[in-house]
Chains A and B, each alone.
Chain A
Amino acid sequence: MTALLHWLTFLLSIILLPVLTLGTIRKTKARLQNRIGPPICQPIYDLVKLSRKGETISSTMCGVFRLSSLLAFADILVLAWLTPWLCFKPWAPHSNIFMVVYLFAFARMFTLLGSLDSGSAFGAFSASREATLSLLVEPAVLLALVSLGIFFGSSDLRVIFSHQTNQTFTDSAIWIAAGLAIFFSSLVELSRMPVDDPTTHLELTMIHEAMILEASGRNLALIEFAHALKMSIFFGLASQCFLRAFPQFNTFNVYSQGGLNIVGILGLALFVGLLESLIVKLQWRKVPEFIAYILSLSLIASLAAIGAGVIK
């Protein structure tokens, strides 16, 4: 019975959490701009509406375009299954750090292929920008996860995120530095505010939006949902890092841990909404500088992990 309950909650959170995360960000931004804004569940209605609509496909496209969004969605679903972004998963599979990072890259590759296949000028340049960004941010994500791996002596994310440690100062410092690095690199990976404005209407400044410009109907619904799910996976990992920095977290039972986890994801979404209302989009040439700051956070985490290993 409890197993069934676990499965149900897991499936529900895979379906609902991405939507709620997106809805929270939009609601926060709307409230800060003195608008009432759409209800938090609005992304669900949007997805339902999109899946009912018909789609228009350019005559230059081959099958890659249709297939790519489907494959990217499947890839992200596998990742939702593999990564320990929620701490109440019914069955925890092995998930190697490198496999997870490159499965994310794999999903992005499909999106890039789809945007190139559409044959529009915007698709090509946004694909090139997205590829550049992923190239720049990859070492930051990898170093942050690897620093946790070094510290806990395993390259398996499941082992890292279920570790019962005697919490010391270095433990918390590494968790917080790695969590910050994962969170900020997720802003780049998901092309959110300091790097790309998700609500922009000018195609020349878009990154992610220009890639999915040609998608419509069910295709667009799939892409949007995969993107939101990717966002909640990243926020889930980051929020767990922050929560595990507190020694008390390990003493809670699994329900309150799960509840705190979900609150953490939504809290990060709230923070992103706040961030997006307060700061402006960076110039494209300034983005590497921003990513350098993220990389230095991961560097701090990995050096601290190595140092802790040396002291032991």
Chain B
Amino acid sequence: MTVTATEICVLTAALLACLIVGSLHLKVNLWLYAMSTLFIALATAAAALEHSETGLFVIAILIALLKSIAIPKFFSWAIDKLHVYRDLGAIIAPPLAMHAAILLFSLSFILTKEIPSPAGPGNGWFGAAGGISLVFTGLLLMLTRRLAISQIFGFLVIENGIYVFALTQTKGMPLMVEMGILLDVLVGVMVSGLLLFKIQKSFEHIDVGQLTQLKEP
């Protein structure tokens, strides 16, 4: 079985995403997210070389600039503004959650074996497994965290997973679609950042576990 450069990059990104679950420090999480996204950009560039499509190169550069530099920078600024540096964690301890994420990573291999691949059997198996594993990791991240900002990280990881799945299964989407999605993600991050500040202002914390409690006016 041969493994392409795209798939190696995707699997590395998925493993880096698994490590996000293991730490409660928001800045460490952001750094790992940026590294994971950088590997996804590399995977896109490798896919562009494999299918010789220039559109994918543009997308790779855009992902590297927007998702692995601009968004982490924005959140880093937001963390400094909010003065919240650590998540509290929920349900299970972070090290155990990380081990669960790695188990889900291997589970996603078994799951993707059942999916009929459009590019023929045995093709793009690792890439699809990486994408599904990223979705699992994002869900686990959202489940095991309490702060609103960590929920956004989880959402971003899930978004990465869906993008990777599309990239490895369809040989890349059209340039316009990808640019639209990237714009959507950017706008979504900005809006959620604004919401964070709003929640912080009216509740004096960003703990989503306590948002159900009513507050005296």
A168, A289, A299: the one within 8 Å of B99 (CB): A299
- Do residues A295 and B99 form an inter-chain contact, with CB atoms below 8 A? yes
| Beta-carbon contact of A169 and B8 below 8 Å | yes
Interface residues of B, CB < 8 Å — how many?
Answer: 19
Bits for B56-68, please: 1 = Cβ < 8 Å to A, else 0. Answer: 0000000000000
Considering only residues 269-312 of chain A, those with a C-beta below 8 Å from chain B are 288-289, 292-293, 295-296, 299-300, 303, 306-307, 311
A151 and B96 alpha carbons, distance in the complex (Å): 25
B1 x A168 contact (CB < 8 A) = yes
Structural contact, A296 and B99, CB atoms closer than 8 A: yes
Q: Is the CB of B106 within 8 A of A303?
A: yes
Residues of B within 8 A of A293 (CB): 19, 22, 95, 98
Central interface residue in A168, A288, A289, A306, by most chain B CB within 10 Å = A289
Min Cβ gap B207→A in Å is 22
Q: Which residues of B sit under 8 angstroms from A307, Cβ to Cβ? A: 106, 109
Task: Give chain B's interface secondary structure class.
Answer: helix
B69 within 8 A of A: no
Q: Do A289 and B106 touch across chains, with their CB atoms under 8 A apart? A: no
Q: Find out whether the CB atom of A303 lies under 8 angstroms from the CB atom of B102.
A: yes
Tell me the minimal C-beta distance from B184 to chain A in angstroms. 33
- Asked if B131 CB lies within 8 Å of chain A CBs, one says no
Q: Is the CB of B102 within 8 A of A300?
A: yes
Q: Which residue of B lies closest to A308 (CB)?
A: B1
Task: Known contacts A289-B95, A307-B109; decide if A296 and B1 are in contact (CB<8 Å).
Answer: no
In the complex, chain A residues whose CB is within 8 Å of the CB of B98: 292-293, 296
CB neighbours of B95 from chain A (8 A) = 288-289, 292-293, 295-296
Nearest CB of B to A21, in Å: 29
Residues from chain A with Cβ under 8 Å of B19 in the complex:
293, 296
List B1-48 residues whose CB lies under 8 Å from chain A.
Answer: 1-3, 8, 15, 18-19, 22-23
Question: Contact residues of A with B, CB < 8 Å?
Answer: 168-169, 288-289, 292-293, 295-296, 299-300, 303, 306-307, 311
4 extra interchain contacts, Cβ-Cβ under 8 A, other than A289-B94, A303-B102, A307-B109? A169-B3, A292-B96, A295-B95, A296-B98
Q: Which 4 A-B pairs have the closest CB atoms?
A: A292-B95, A169-B3, A303-B106, A299-B102
Interface residues of B (CB under 8 A from A): 1-3, 8, 15, 18-19, 22-23, 94-96, 98-99, 102-103, 105-106, 109
